[in-house]
């Protein structure tokens, strides 16, 4: 059964999965991220559960089960302020030099940010529990765009959910997206390029546009500033120039800080992330034969 919805692109599907199967798999948290052939469903949940099933452009996508959310006076998305005390830390090496009391104070905040980046985020929007993917959260919370911070838009939420499904579904070779101007896609794509590159080892992220100069402008005016403005716990050490023109290289990883390793992370020998973001002139053979983690 489908809920009434004037938007034919996006529908919430009731009873798509047999209730008995849904309850059993949620109880044991056995839903795996990716395409589930038995249910003909792309699961983008990373905690082993499936709650709401949505259909976007004919693709059925399983969101994580809705958690219990604390009541808040703000019934909408808002960007949380970055703690001023963390502003003075620019790298994992500075974090290592901080006293234990300082680390104990902020470790839960940092762990929570990693969880939101990896699993997505729930918030109350217009009295409804609303899920956004981790990539969308990074875009809204941590990405600097030409007007400052991005506004929450429902169209973008649907777009990021579909994008996450494309990444999760091994049957997918990519995504075709038709857009209007000033929709924010260049910044969303740049944000995702940086988000992907800062989590991947031995990877390459490539940028193409309608012309080479457009690709270069996206790299220098969007990708590089977004990378520079990430908080220290998400930002790997950058090799080369502060504002590179052709390649952004991450040579040492931004190690995940947790309660268990918060006093040692960064002190161990690091072999490097060895991940790069670059751009190429638009041509039939651009990136031909090369292994690309993602191409924006």
Task: Summarize pLDDT for 55-85 with one digit per residue, the tens.
Answer: 999 999 999 999 999 877 789 999 999 999 9
56 with 194, same domain: the answer is no
| 56: in domain | yes
Into how many domains does the chain fold?
2
Q: Is the pTM of this model over 0.85?
A: yes
Rounded to whole angstroms, the Cα distance separating 143 from 106 reads: 21
178 with 52, same domain: the answer is no
Stretch (H or E) spanning 148: strand 148-149
31 with 174, same domain: the answer is no
| 157: in domain | yes
| 74: in domain | no
| 71: in domain | no
| 145: in domain | yes
28 with 93, same domain: the answer is no
CA nearest 34: which of 53, 12, 62? Answer: 62
| 5: in domain | no
52 with 131, same domain: the answer is no
DSSP state at residue 170:
T
Q: What CATH number is given to the structural domain containing 171?
A: 3.40.50
Rounded to whole angstroms, the Cα distance separating 148 from 23 reads: 43
Rounded to whole angstroms, the Cα distance separating 133 from 122 reads: 9
47 with 91, same domain: the answer is no
Domain that holds residue 256: 84-295
Task: Summarize pLDDT for 125-181 with one digit per residue, the tens.
Answer: 999 999 999 999 999 999 999 888 999 999 999 999 999 999 999 999 889 888 888
19 with 126, same domain: the answer is no
Q: The dihedral of CA 208, 251, 116, 125: what is its sign?
A: negative
140 with 220, same domain: the answer is yes
Q: Are 19 and 51 in contact (CB under 8 A)?
A: no
């Amino acid at each position: 059964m489908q809920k009434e919805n004037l938007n034919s692109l996006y529908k919430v599907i009731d009873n798509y999965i047999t209730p008995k199967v849904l309850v059993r798999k949620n109880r044991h948290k056995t839903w795996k991220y990716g395409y589930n052939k038995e249910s003909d469903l792309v699961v983008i949940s990373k905690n082993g559960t499936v709650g709401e099933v949505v259909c976007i452009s004919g693709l059925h996508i399983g969101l994580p089960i809705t958690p219990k959310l604390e009541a808040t006076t703000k019934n909408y998305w808002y960007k949380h302020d970055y703690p001023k005390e963390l502003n003075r830390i620019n790298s994992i090496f500075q974090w290592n030099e901080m006293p234990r009391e300082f680390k104990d104070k902020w470790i839960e905040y940092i762990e929570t940010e990693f969880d939101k980046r990896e699993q997505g985020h729930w918030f109350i929007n217009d009295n409804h529990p609303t899920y956004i993917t981790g990539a969308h959260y990074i875009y809204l919370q941590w990405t600097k765009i030409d007007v400052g911070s991005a506004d929450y838009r429902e169209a973008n939420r649907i777009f990021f959910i579909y994008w996450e499904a494309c990444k999760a579904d091994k049957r997918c070779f990519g995504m075709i997206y038709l857009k209007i101007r000033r929709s924010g896609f260049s910044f969303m794509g740049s944000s995702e390029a940086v988000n992907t590159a800062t989590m991947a080892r031995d990877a390459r992220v490539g940028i193409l546009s309608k012309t080479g100069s457009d690709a270069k402008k996206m790299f220098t005016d969007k990708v590089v500033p977004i990378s520079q403005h990430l908080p220290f716990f998400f930002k790997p050490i950058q090799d080369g120039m502060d504002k590179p023109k052709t390649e952004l290289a991450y040579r040492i990883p931004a190690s995940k800080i947790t309660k268990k390793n918060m006093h040692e992370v960064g002190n161990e020998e690091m072999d490097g992330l060895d991940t790069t973001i670059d751009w190429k002139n638009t041509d039939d053979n651009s990136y031909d034969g090369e292994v690309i983690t993602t191409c924006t």
